Amino acid sequence: DDEGDMVSRPPVVTIMGHVDHGKTSLLDAIRKTSVVSGEAGGITQHIGAYQVEQNGHKITFIDTPGHAAFTAMRARGAQATDIAILVVAADDSVMPQTIESIAHAKAAGVPIIVAINKVDKHEADPQKVRNQLLQHDVFVETMGGEVLDVEVSAKTGLNLDKLLEAILLQAEILDLKANPHRSAEGTVVEAQLDRGRGSVATVLVQKGTLTPGQIIVAGDQWGRVRALVTDKGEHVKSAGPATPVEVLGLSGTPQAGDKFAVVENESRAREISEYRQRLTRDKAVARASG
Protein backbone atom coordinates (compact mmCIF):
# COMPACT_ATOMS: atom_id res chain seq x y z
CA ASP A 1 0.00 0.00 0.00
CA ASP A 2 1.13 3.52 -0.76
CA GLU A 3 1.59 5.37 2.55
CA GLY A 4 -0.02 8.48 1.10
CA ASP A 5 -3.28 6.65 0.47
CA MET A 6 -3.72 5.45 4.05
CA VAL A 7 -6.64 6.88 6.02
CA SER A 8 -8.00 6.22 9.50
CA ARG A 9 -10.41 3.33 9.79
CA PRO A 10 -12.75 2.07 12.54
CA PRO A 11 -11.55 -0.59 15.00
CA VAL A 12 -12.75 -4.16 14.50
CA VAL A 13 -13.72 -5.71 17.82
CA THR A 14 -14.48 -9.32 18.83
CA ILE A 15 -15.98 -10.50 22.09
CA MET A 16 -14.45 -13.45 23.94
CA GLY A 17 -14.92 -15.14 27.28
CA HIS A 18 -16.23 -18.12 29.20
CA VAL A 19 -19.55 -19.75 28.35
CA ASP A 20 -22.59 -17.86 29.68
CA HIS A 21 -20.56 -14.88 30.90
CA GLY A 22 -22.73 -12.66 28.69
CA LYS A 23 -20.96 -12.18 25.33
CA THR A 24 -24.13 -12.31 23.23
CA SER A 25 -26.12 -10.28 25.78
CA LEU A 26 -23.46 -7.59 25.75
CA LEU A 27 -23.37 -7.43 21.93
CA ASP A 28 -27.17 -7.26 21.83
CA ALA A 29 -27.26 -4.54 24.48
CA ILE A 30 -24.66 -2.42 22.66
CA ARG A 31 -26.52 -2.84 19.39
CA LYS A 32 -29.92 -2.04 20.90
CA THR A 33 -28.57 1.12 22.56
CA SER A 34 -27.13 2.38 19.30
CA VAL A 35 -30.04 1.20 17.16
CA VAL A 36 -32.52 3.41 19.04
CA SER A 37 -31.29 6.50 17.25
CA GLY A 38 -32.22 6.58 13.61
CA GLU A 39 -33.86 3.22 13.07
CA ALA A 40 -37.52 2.39 12.98
CA GLY A 41 -38.36 -0.71 14.92
CA GLY A 42 -36.03 -3.07 16.70
CA ILE A 43 -33.87 -5.44 14.75
CA THR A 44 -34.06 -8.93 16.15
CA GLN A 45 -32.53 -11.15 13.48
CA HIS A 46 -29.10 -12.60 14.06
CA ILE A 47 -26.33 -10.56 12.52
CA GLY A 48 -22.73 -11.70 12.28
CA ALA A 49 -21.21 -8.26 12.28
CA TYR A 50 -22.40 -4.73 12.84
CA GLN A 51 -21.20 -1.18 13.26
CA VAL A 52 -22.12 1.39 15.89
CA GLU A 53 -21.25 5.04 16.31
CA GLN A 54 -20.04 6.66 19.52
CA ASN A 55 -19.47 10.44 19.48
CA GLY A 56 -19.15 10.36 15.69
CA HIS A 57 -16.61 7.50 15.66
CA LYS A 58 -17.48 4.12 14.19
CA ILE A 59 -16.78 0.77 15.87
CA THR A 60 -17.19 -2.56 14.07
CA PHE A 61 -18.21 -5.57 16.14
CA ILE A 62 -17.86 -9.14 14.95
CA ASP A 63 -20.02 -11.72 16.65
CA THR A 64 -17.86 -14.80 16.25
CA PRO A 65 -19.69 -17.82 17.62
CA GLY A 66 -17.25 -18.36 20.46
CA HIS A 67 -13.51 -18.40 20.27
CA ALA A 68 -13.48 -21.48 18.04
CA ALA A 69 -14.18 -19.21 15.09
CA PHE A 70 -11.55 -16.76 16.30
CA THR A 71 -8.99 -19.57 16.31
CA ALA A 72 -10.16 -20.79 12.90
CA MET A 73 -9.81 -17.31 11.44
CA ARG A 74 -6.34 -16.98 12.91
CA ALA A 75 -5.34 -20.41 11.60
CA ARG A 76 -6.33 -19.28 8.10
CA GLY A 77 -4.11 -16.25 8.47
CA ALA A 78 -7.05 -13.91 8.40
CA GLN A 79 -6.23 -11.64 11.26
CA ALA A 80 -9.45 -9.67 11.34
CA THR A 81 -9.57 -8.34 14.89
CA ASP A 82 -7.94 -5.22 16.30
CA ILE A 83 -9.28 -5.39 19.85
CA ALA A 84 -10.64 -8.27 21.96
CA ILE A 85 -13.26 -7.60 24.61
CA LEU A 86 -12.77 -10.17 27.37
CA VAL A 87 -16.11 -10.66 29.11
CA VAL A 88 -15.83 -11.97 32.67
CA ALA A 89 -18.98 -12.47 34.73
CA ALA A 90 -18.48 -10.87 38.14
CA ASP A 91 -20.41 -13.63 39.90
CA ASP A 92 -18.43 -16.47 38.32
CA SER A 93 -15.02 -14.79 37.87
CA VAL A 94 -12.13 -16.23 35.84
CA MET A 95 -12.93 -19.64 34.33
CA PRO A 96 -11.14 -22.03 31.91
CA GLN A 97 -12.36 -20.34 28.71
CA THR A 98 -11.44 -16.93 30.17
CA ILE A 99 -7.87 -18.18 30.43
CA GLU A 100 -8.03 -19.67 26.91
CA SER A 101 -9.33 -16.37 25.55
CA ILE A 102 -6.42 -14.49 27.15
CA ALA A 103 -4.00 -16.94 25.54
CA HIS A 104 -5.65 -16.54 22.10
CA ALA A 105 -5.60 -12.75 22.27
CA LYS A 106 -1.96 -12.71 23.41
CA ALA A 107 -0.91 -15.18 20.70
CA ALA A 108 -2.63 -13.00 18.11
CA GLY A 109 -1.04 -9.86 19.52
CA VAL A 110 -4.47 -8.30 19.99
CA PRO A 111 -4.96 -5.91 22.93
CA ILE A 112 -7.60 -6.88 25.49
CA ILE A 113 -10.23 -4.70 27.12
CA VAL A 114 -11.85 -6.35 30.14
CA ALA A 115 -15.63 -6.06 30.51
CA ILE A 116 -16.55 -7.17 34.03
CA ASN A 117 -20.16 -8.13 33.37
CA LYS A 118 -23.22 -8.91 35.52
CA VAL A 119 -22.28 -6.33 38.16
CA ASP A 120 -26.04 -5.90 38.76
CA LYS A 121 -26.08 -9.27 40.56
CA HIS A 122 -25.82 -9.17 44.35
CA GLU A 123 -23.19 -11.92 44.37
CA ALA A 124 -21.00 -9.92 41.94
CA ASP A 125 -17.38 -9.45 43.08
CA PRO A 126 -15.52 -7.30 40.50
CA GLN A 127 -12.39 -7.02 42.65
CA LYS A 128 -12.05 -10.81 42.74
CA VAL A 129 -12.11 -10.77 38.92
CA ARG A 130 -9.29 -8.20 38.82
CA ASN A 131 -7.18 -10.19 41.30
CA GLN A 132 -7.65 -13.42 39.40
CA LEU A 133 -6.83 -11.76 36.07
CA LEU A 134 -3.56 -10.57 37.58
CA GLN A 135 -2.62 -14.21 38.15
CA HIS A 136 -2.92 -14.64 34.39
CA ASP A 137 -0.78 -11.60 33.58
CA VAL A 138 -3.69 -9.31 32.82
CA PHE A 139 -2.97 -6.20 34.92
CA VAL A 140 -5.98 -3.92 34.73
CA GLU A 141 -5.95 -0.12 34.81
CA THR A 142 -7.99 0.26 38.00
CA MET A 143 -5.19 -1.64 39.79
CA GLY A 144 -2.48 0.48 38.16
CA GLY A 145 -1.96 -1.70 35.09
CA GLU A 146 -2.36 -0.95 31.39
CA VAL A 147 -5.35 -3.09 30.41
CA LEU A 148 -8.55 -1.04 30.26
CA ASP A 149 -11.34 -2.48 32.41
CA VAL A 150 -14.97 -1.46 32.71
CA GLU A 151 -17.69 -2.76 35.04
CA VAL A 152 -20.81 -3.35 32.95
CA SER A 153 -24.22 -4.94 33.01
CA ALA A 154 -25.66 -6.21 29.77
CA LYS A 155 -28.93 -6.55 31.66
CA THR A 156 -29.31 -2.98 32.91
CA GLY A 157 -27.11 -1.29 30.29
CA LEU A 158 -24.75 0.08 32.95
CA ASN A 159 -21.54 1.63 31.55
CA LEU A 160 -21.99 0.46 27.96
CA ASP A 161 -21.01 4.00 26.87
CA LYS A 162 -17.84 3.72 28.99
CA LEU A 163 -17.00 0.44 27.27
CA LEU A 164 -17.40 2.09 23.85
CA GLU A 165 -15.19 4.99 25.03
CA ALA A 166 -12.54 2.50 26.17
CA ILE A 167 -12.63 0.86 22.72
CA LEU A 168 -12.16 4.23 21.00
CA LEU A 169 -9.29 5.11 23.35
CA GLN A 170 -7.58 1.80 22.56
CA ALA A 171 -8.22 2.34 18.84
CA GLU A 172 -6.58 5.77 19.02
CA ILE A 173 -3.48 4.21 20.57
CA LEU A 174 -3.40 1.60 17.78
CA ASP A 175 -3.67 4.35 15.12
CA LEU A 176 -5.53 2.09 12.68
CA LYS A 177 -5.21 2.94 9.01
CA ALA A 178 -6.10 1.38 5.66
CA ASN A 179 -6.03 2.30 1.99
CA PRO A 180 -9.56 2.67 0.57
CA HIS A 181 -8.20 3.39 -2.96
CA ARG A 182 -7.26 -0.13 -3.94
CA SER A 183 -8.84 -3.38 -4.91
CA ALA A 184 -10.95 -4.76 -2.03
CA GLU A 185 -9.86 -7.64 0.21
CA GLY A 186 -11.28 -9.02 3.40
CA THR A 187 -12.67 -11.92 5.38
CA VAL A 188 -15.94 -13.84 5.35
CA VAL A 189 -17.67 -13.62 8.73
CA GLU A 190 -20.53 -15.98 7.88
CA ALA A 191 -22.56 -17.13 4.88
CA GLN A 192 -25.85 -18.85 4.23
CA LEU A 193 -28.31 -19.67 1.50
CA ASP A 194 -31.39 -17.48 1.72
CA ARG A 195 -34.59 -18.69 0.08
CA GLY A 196 -35.31 -15.37 -1.58
CA ARG A 197 -31.88 -13.80 -1.98
CA GLY A 198 -29.67 -16.77 -2.77
CA SER A 199 -26.18 -16.86 -1.30
CA VAL A 200 -25.73 -14.18 1.37
CA ALA A 201 -22.19 -13.71 2.67
CA THR A 202 -21.43 -11.30 5.49
CA VAL A 203 -17.91 -10.07 4.88
CA LEU A 204 -15.57 -7.68 6.59
CA VAL A 205 -13.82 -5.42 4.07
CA GLN A 206 -10.28 -4.94 5.38
CA LYS A 207 -8.52 -3.16 2.52
CA GLY A 208 -9.80 -1.19 -0.41
CA THR A 209 -13.40 -0.48 -1.32
CA LEU A 210 -15.93 -3.03 -2.55
CA THR A 211 -18.65 -1.94 -4.98
CA PRO A 212 -21.58 -3.66 -6.74
CA GLY A 213 -20.65 -5.03 -10.17
CA GLN A 214 -17.18 -6.16 -9.11
CA ILE A 215 -16.22 -9.82 -9.41
CA ILE A 216 -14.94 -11.48 -6.26
CA VAL A 217 -13.57 -14.83 -5.20
CA ALA A 218 -14.43 -15.85 -1.63
CA GLY A 219 -12.86 -19.11 -0.49
CA ASP A 220 -13.79 -21.57 -3.25
CA GLN A 221 -16.83 -19.55 -4.40
CA TRP A 222 -17.07 -16.63 -6.80
CA GLY A 223 -19.60 -14.20 -8.18
CA ARG A 224 -20.38 -10.73 -9.46
CA VAL A 225 -21.53 -8.53 -6.57
CA ARG A 226 -25.24 -7.92 -7.19
CA ALA A 227 -25.85 -5.81 -4.09
CA LEU A 228 -24.19 -4.70 -0.87
CA VAL A 229 -26.44 -4.49 2.18
CA THR A 230 -25.48 -3.00 5.56
CA ASP A 231 -26.41 -4.41 8.98
CA LYS A 232 -29.18 -1.80 8.98
CA GLY A 233 -30.67 -3.27 5.80
CA GLU A 234 -29.57 -0.38 3.59
CA HIS A 235 -28.31 -1.03 0.06
CA VAL A 236 -25.03 0.82 -0.43
CA LYS A 237 -22.86 1.63 -3.44
CA SER A 238 -19.57 1.02 -1.66
CA ALA A 239 -18.04 -0.57 1.45
CA GLY A 240 -14.64 0.68 2.62
CA PRO A 241 -12.08 -0.62 5.14
CA ALA A 242 -13.42 -2.11 8.43
CA THR A 243 -16.98 -2.13 7.08
CA PRO A 244 -19.12 -5.24 7.58
CA VAL A 245 -21.48 -5.80 4.69
CA GLU A 246 -23.70 -8.49 3.19
CA VAL A 247 -22.66 -9.50 -0.31
CA LEU A 248 -25.30 -10.88 -2.67
CA GLY A 249 -24.40 -12.61 -5.91
CA LEU A 250 -21.98 -15.38 -4.97
CA SER A 251 -22.40 -18.78 -6.63
CA GLY A 252 -22.46 -20.61 -3.27
CA THR A 253 -21.61 -20.20 0.39
CA PRO A 254 -17.99 -19.72 1.45
CA GLN A 255 -16.84 -20.64 4.98
CA ALA A 256 -16.44 -18.30 7.94
CA GLY A 257 -12.83 -17.21 7.99
CA ASP A 258 -12.34 -17.53 4.20
CA LYS A 259 -10.64 -14.60 2.54
CA PHE A 260 -12.22 -12.74 -0.34
CA ALA A 261 -10.65 -10.57 -3.03
CA VAL A 262 -11.71 -8.73 -6.15
CA VAL A 263 -10.41 -10.28 -9.40
CA GLU A 264 -10.22 -8.76 -12.87
CA ASN A 265 -12.71 -10.93 -14.78
CA GLU A 266 -15.13 -13.85 -14.68
CA SER A 267 -12.86 -16.40 -16.29
CA ARG A 268 -10.12 -15.70 -13.75
CA ALA A 269 -12.69 -15.99 -10.93
CA ARG A 270 -14.00 -19.29 -12.27
CA GLU A 271 -10.48 -20.63 -12.68
CA ILE A 272 -9.51 -19.82 -9.06
CA SER A 273 -12.72 -21.19 -7.55
CA GLU A 274 -12.55 -24.42 -9.61
CA TYR A 275 -8.95 -24.92 -8.55
CA ARG A 276 -9.87 -24.41 -4.88
CA GLN A 277 -12.90 -26.70 -5.10
CA ARG A 278 -10.66 -29.39 -6.58
CA LEU A 279 -8.24 -28.95 -3.66
CA THR A 280 -11.11 -29.27 -1.17
CA ARG A 281 -12.30 -32.47 -2.88
CA ASP A 282 -8.78 -33.93 -3.01
CA LYS A 283 -8.31 -33.26 0.70
CA ALA A 284 -11.63 -34.94 1.51
CA VAL A 285 -10.61 -37.99 -0.54
CA ALA A 286 -7.20 -38.11 1.16
CA ARG A 287 -8.86 -37.94 4.57
CA ALA A 288 -11.37 -40.67 3.71
CA SER A 289 -8.60 -43.02 2.57
CA GLY A 290 -6.63 -42.30 5.75
CB closer to ligand GTP, 68 vs 173: 68
| Residue from 10, 15, 22, 24 binding Mg ion (CB under 5 A) | 24
State yes or no: residue 118 binds ligand GTP (CB under 6 A).
Answer: yes
Least separation in angstroms between CB 288 and Mg ion: 34
Measured distance CA(110)–CA(104) in Å, rounded: 9
Strand order of the β-sheet with 12-17 is 49-54, 57-62, 12-17, 83-89, 112-117, 149-151
Least separation in angstroms between CB 236 and ligand GTP: 29
**67 membership: H or E segment, kind and range:** helix 67-75
Least separation in angstroms between CB 126 and ligand GTP: 12
Using CA atoms, how far residue 248 sits from 24, 44, 86, 198, in Å, is 26, 21, 33, 7
* Stretch binding ligand GTP (CB under 6 A), from 4-12, 148-156, 204-212, 232-240: 148-156
State yes or no: residue 266 binds Na ion (CB under 5 A).
Answer: no
Which amino acid, one-letter code, is at 125? D
Site for ligand GTP in 251-290 (CB under 6 A): none
Least separation in angstroms between CB 14 and ligand GTP: 13
Q: Which segments are annotated as binding site?
A: 17-24, 63-67, 117-120
Q: Which segments are annotated as binding site for GTP?
A: 17-24, 63-67, 117-120
Which amino acid, one-letter code, is at 176? L
Using CA atoms, how far residue 87 sits from 22, 35, 251, 256, in Å, is 7, 22, 37, 23
Q: Left if phi > 0, otherwise alpha if psi is -120 to 50, otherwise beta: which for 118?
A: left
Instruction: Name which of ligand GTP, Na ion, Mg ion, none residue 153 binds, using a CB cut-off of 5 to 8 Å depending on partner kind.
Output: ligand GTP
Number of helices (H) and strands (E), helices first, in the chain? 6, 15
DSSP state of 111: P
CB closer to Na ion, 78 vs 87: 87
Measured distance CA(278)–CA(290) in Å, rounded: 18
| Residue from 76, 121, 226, 276 binding ligand GTP (CB under 6 A) | 121
Site for ligand GTP in 19-38 (CB under 6 A): 19-25
State yes or no: residue 211 binds Mg ion (CB under 5 A).
Answer: no
Count of CB atoms situated within 10 Å of the CB of 34: 19
State yes or no: residue 103 binds ligand GTP (CB under 6 A).
Answer: no
State yes or no: residue 20 binds Na ion (CB under 5 A).
Answer: yes
Measured distance CA(36)–CA(227) in Å, rounded: 26
Binding site for ligand GTP (CB under 6 A): 17, 19-25, 117-118, 120-121, 153-155
Footprint of Mg ion on this chain (CB under 5 A)?
Answer: 23-24
